[in-house]
Amino acid sequence: MAFAFSIRCLLLGVIRLAVAVIIRDPSTVNRTYDYIVAGGGLTGLVVANRLTEDPNTSVLVVEYGDFDDRWDVAIPYHARFLHTEDLFEIPSEPQKGLWNRSFSVWLRKTVGGGSTVNGMALSRGARADYDAWEALGNPGWGWEGMFPYFKRSSSLTYPGPELVHKYGYVVSPEGYGRGPMQAGFPKWQFPALNNYIDAWTKDIGVEYRTDGDTNGENIGMAWKPIDIDPVNITRSSARKAYYDPASGRANLDILVGCYVATLDTDPSASVTGVNVRVARVNSSSTKQIFLRSGKEVILAAGAVHTTKILQLSGIGPAALLQPLGIGIVVDLPGVGANFQDHPTNNGYSFKFLNEPSLNPNLYDEASFYNESWDEYMANRTGPLTWAFGNNRVVLSLNNLTNDYQALMDDFLHGNETSQYLDDWHKQHPVLEAGYKLQHQIMAQVISEKHGSVMESVFGGAAGSPFTVVKPFSRGTVLINSTNPDPILGAPQVNYQALTHPFDMKLAIEGLKMVRKLLSTPSMALLHPVEIVPGANVTTEAQIEEAIRTILYRPSNSHPCCTAAMLPLELGGVVDPQLRVYGVQGLRIVDASILPLIPSAHTQETMYAVGEKAADVIKGVNGYR
């Protein structure tokens, strides 16, 4: 009874329900809005909030999923788990760089999108990441243009001086403003965390970044905040930060349990509205309703579904659409190309033979979990305030290996920069041209020793996943049917992970670095023992085989770049104002517009993109 009462208190007291009427029947929605936002995820809610600050502007958000007020998505510890109720799964294409294995592609279907169900990680890319966007032909999208929007979107709150002193939390407050998304730190850390910190900074010698990664540099070891409400100590999602405060506005509607199937265009290639269907989980009906946009349709459905909507609507590569019988509105080869994510080694495992008595394995013991639950419910303190971990190490190539110059010469300085691209990119000259410029810029940044190439996140557990943060491989998201259903008509998702040999070399060097970490004096105190792939895997050939067969996944759930903000002649899909080339009344505001993936978890970048996009749409210049 006490447990049930606690749950009820959390639901009704801590997790504030939206007060606006939520529309679930598309037949009852208004037929015309100034703006229709396809996707109620992170960026969709940011833009909807900012546009409806003007009471004379009407906005409809269409979201496949629904609101999730369950306790387990709110409590930080439960960010560790896969919340399948808020996700749907489609299979990837077999990955030739990973021994033709297919992987689950988990896509969000809940109000707030990934910010509702992710690991709560907040990190920013380096200045060089965003300056590369600008160098690719996007004025105003470099670090100086993005930084004000990082500040506008977020606020930083420390948990209290005693905990700051106890754990050593440090990050520059100058990187934050007074925005709605709340950044902070948990009221708990595990003791072995100090072994990791000492191993990285004292034994290996990477820089201890006391400013965090908020001010344009991220090489080194830094504290990584999470999105946590400082009052309730619950997840600060886009739903909580952007939708709930705006939910009482008469000019903002949200239609849940439905999805945008296609866009409607007139003979002049102007988008006039959207065709909406009820989500399959709610109905077997294929009936669709047309909703008119008075000003613009804004696609914010994510890198996979925004791409699918465009292609089904005749906006994409003619070579793909014509064989499917789809009429061409505009031939844009870049739609579905340039696909990027962060390949991640989460298969490597080890254990500590001399683990501290307080360690993350205790969560599996009922007594520890129940005591932690009681403490959290009573005081909002303790182990349940902790998610995945709050530290990240970002390495440049010269941090990672002494052979960095040879790697550059072998793989990045050759003339055939596009030889490792797949046939789809090679058969479209604009895609090949765009990749060559990307390759040139990325190689230059890496050669100057301040380019990020690998990341490891840790928090005191026996685990240290390594991620390739600036991959050179490029994949595709391409439809193979005209079925608009997001599951039954799922597009072909091909990461092409680790198909560029430089990415594989980074993965190999990353595994060597984990082993170096475990052999340091600070980590040796814990007596680490490698389990997978095993100490007998020693040669580069053996390590590569382990990476391809058991260690690596193609994704860290950061899909992006499939409708890139690039010049048209470089395979671009949107211009710097996020307008789709060749079409009127259509913009894209989600991770698909990124030309290059940043060397960070994408969440914080997308808050800034959403804020900047709102100003672009409203015609506002600069940080207000």
Of 305, 342, 425, 558, the catalytic one is 558
For 450-456, what is the mean pLDDT? 93
Q: Say whether 304 counts as a known binding-site residue.
A: no
Pick the range with the lowest mean pLDDT from 328-342, 456-470, 582-596. 456-470
User: Would the pLDDT of 9 be above 50?
Assistant: no
**Which of 186, 75, 217 lies closest to 459 in space, CA to CA?**
186
Active-site residue flag, 450: no
pLDDT digits (tens, 9 = 90+) for 243-278: 999 999 999 999 999 999 999 999 999 999 999 999
Per-residue pLDDT at 20: 56
Q: What is the pLDDT of residue 84?
A: 86
In CATH, what number is assigned to the domain containing residue 368?
3.50.50.60
- Residue 177: predicted pLDDT: 97
Is residue 4 scored above 70 in pLDDT? no
Q: Give me the number of domains the chain comprises.
A: 1
Q: Is residue 14 part of a domain?
A: yes
> Quick check: 16 pLDDT over 50?
no
E-only strand ranges, 15-97: 32-38, 59-63, 87-91
Residue written as tokens 């993005």? 146
pLDDT tens-digit map of 186-219: 999 999 999 999 999 999 999 999 999 999 999 9
Q: Tell me: the pLDDT tens digits for 359-400?
A: 999 999 999 999 999 999 999 999 999 998 899 999 999 999
CA 159, CA 154: separation in Å to the nearest integer?
16
Amino acid at 255: L
Q: pLDDT tier at 448 (50, 70, 90 boundaries)?
A: confident
Reply yes or no on whether 601 is catalytic.
yes
What's the pLDDT score for residue 411?
84
**What pairing do the DSSP bridges indicate for beta strands 391-396 and 452-458?**
antiparallel
CA angle 500, 505, 507 (to 5 degrees): 100
Whether the CB-CB separation of 51 and 614 falls below 8 Å is answered with yes
What count of other Cβ atoms lies within 10 Å of the Cβ of residue 34? Answer: 17
Non-local CB neighbours of 419 within 8 Å, separated by 6+ positions? none
User: Which residues, other chains included, contact 296 with Cβ-Cβ below 8 Å and sequence gap of 6+?
Assistant: 34, 35, 36, 271, 585, 586, 587, 617
Residue 197 lies in a domain: yes
Can you give the pLDDT at residue 416? 72
Whether the full predicted model's pTM is greater than 0.85, yes or no, is: yes
Query: Which of the 8 DSSP states describes residue 580?
Result: B
353 Rama sector, left if φ>0, alpha if ψ -120 to 50, beta otherwise: alpha
* pLDDT cut 90: percent of the chain above it: 87
Residue 623 reports pLDDT greater than 60:
no
What single-letter amino acid sits at 563? A
Q: Is residue 485 part of a domain?
A: no
Nearest to 346 by CA among 589, 56, 98: 98
Q: In the predicted model, is pLDDT for residue 618 greater than 70?
A: yes
Cα separation, 601 vs 330, in Å, equals 33
Of the candidates 118, 98, 83, 84, the residue with the CA atom closest to the CA atom of residue 494: 98
Beta bridge partners of 125: none
pLDDT of residue 21: 66
405 pLDDT above the threshold of 60:
yes
Q: Distance from CA of residue 44 to its chain's centroid?
A: 14
**Residue 422 forms part of a structural domain:** no
Residue 514, in any domain of the structure = no
pLDDT tens by residue, 410-429: 888 876 788 999 999 999 99
Q: Which residues contact 409 (CB under 8 A, 6 or more apart)?
A: none
Q: What is the pLDDT of residue 259?
A: 97
Residue at 486 is within a domain: no
Find all residues with CB under 8 Å of 30, minimum gap 6, and list them: 58, 60, 253, 291
pLDDT value of residue 552: 98
Q: Which of 3-12, 314-323, 457-466 has the lowest mean pLDDT?
A: 3-12
CA distance 385 to 363: 13
Q: Would you state the torsion angle of the CA atoms of residues 401, 406, 408, 412, taken in this order, to the nearest 10 degrees?
A: -140
Give tens-digit pLDDT for 522-549.
Answer: 999 999 999 999 999 999 999 999 999 9
Is residue 450, in this structure, part of any structural domain at all?
no
pLDDT at res. 102: 98
Q: Report yes or no on 259 lying in a domain.
A: yes
In this predicted structure, the answer to whether residue 2 has a pLDDT above a threshold of 50 is: no
Q: Specify the length of the chain in residues.
A: 624
Q: Could you give the CA distance from residue 274 to residue 38 in angstroms, rounded to a whole number?
A: 9
For residues 217 and 397, what is the distance between their CA atoms, to the nearest angstrom? 15
Range of the domain at 176: 2-340+349-391+557-618
